[in-house]
Amino acid sequence: MPRPYRLCGAETISIAGVLLAVLIAGFTGCAPLVANLHTRGRAMAVLPGSQSVQVRWQEQDDALAGQMEPVLTQAMEALKPYGDFTHPVTVYLYPDHQRLALATGQLCKPWMVGFGQYARIHLQSPATWAGKDWRQRFSRLVTHELAHVLMYQRCCNSWDWFVRDIPFWFREGFASAVAGQGRERQGRGEVRDYYLGGAQAGDPLVTGEKVRRTRVSLAYGASHRVFEDFLAVCGPRGVRDIVEAMGEGADFDQAFGRVVGFSPREFTDIWRSDLADDLPFASRWRRVFCPGAGQ
């Protein structure tokens, strides 16, 4: 038996599994590494734009797979204002975290229970993490990961989605806000206290990926709160316009500036300042940001 390899503190994965994950990910652009284990599957729903969604699972997740169709239908409803999917999507269900980590190559994120790509989402069985209210939490997770897929398909191509530079706060804030995960995130007051305390772990609106390594809740909490306010002033149309401008070739900063009227840095600086002063951001800036895109 291969010797276990301790990775990221508490995470223990066989060295053979780690090497396989790294090698195959390099050749496949992070395609599912254990998809051959998913012996069961069927089409369960229709995505906006007449694209299909296929669900794949292993035998031990038969019960969960049987409940996926209403979950997917609810997720599609939440995503309707943001455009249509352009490609079919496959959903992979995993019975534990180790198999999810190996499938996605995300070996140093022990907190991760879902991962969205260009045409796939990978989900860890909620029986291993979601607790008593697992149906609601799992439904929000599915919506969150499908929101990532929708953004990638609208802004990017299958060969460049993973290198396009979309800030953490916009990418994760969008998915979290659309999924209605506010109760699972740090509140506005906690984010404000962090900034007033000197932001010792870094600014989640500038270096979100770095902050997430040590302060997961803070990184997602700040992203959710700033994106809530972005939606309040720019609406779904603002999101669509930015993403579509990227799909036409603009980089994120160009697309954001064209739609919002300010650079991303100017927007987040103003938001952070209003947060520190406990000012009502949305009502102060609704007529300034995103002229013509607020609905």
Structural domains in the chain plus CATH codes: 31-155 (3.30.2010.30), 168-285 (no CATH)
CA distances from 121 to 3, 101, 105, 117 (A): 30, 13, 13, 6
User: Which region holds residue 166: left if phi is over 0, alpha if psi is between -120 and 50, else beta?
Assistant: beta
Rounded CA-CA distance 75/90 in Å is: 14
Helix axis angle, 252-260 to 216-247, nearest 10°: 80
First to last CA, the chain: 59
> Which residues is 11 bridged to in the sheet?
7
Each residue's pLDDT expressed in tens, for the chain with a length of 295 residues: 333 333 454 444 444 554 444 444 444 344 444 445 565 776 666 565 556 888 998 888 888 988 898 899 899 999 999 999 999 999 999 999 999 999 899 988 999 999 999 999 999 999 899 887 888 999 999 999 999 999 999 999 999 999 999 999 999 999 999 999 999 999 999 999 999 999 999 999 999 999 999 999 999 999 999 999 999 999 999 999 999 999 999 999 999 999 999 999 999 999 999 999 999 999 999 889 998 664 4
3-state helix, strand, coil in the chain (%, to 5): 55, 15, 35
| 168 in Cβ contact with 260 (< 8 Å) | no
Rounded CA-CA distance 14/7 in Å is: 10
Rounded CA-CA distance 156/25 in Å is: 20
CA distances from 80 to 48, 120, 147, 264 (A): 7, 18, 10, 25
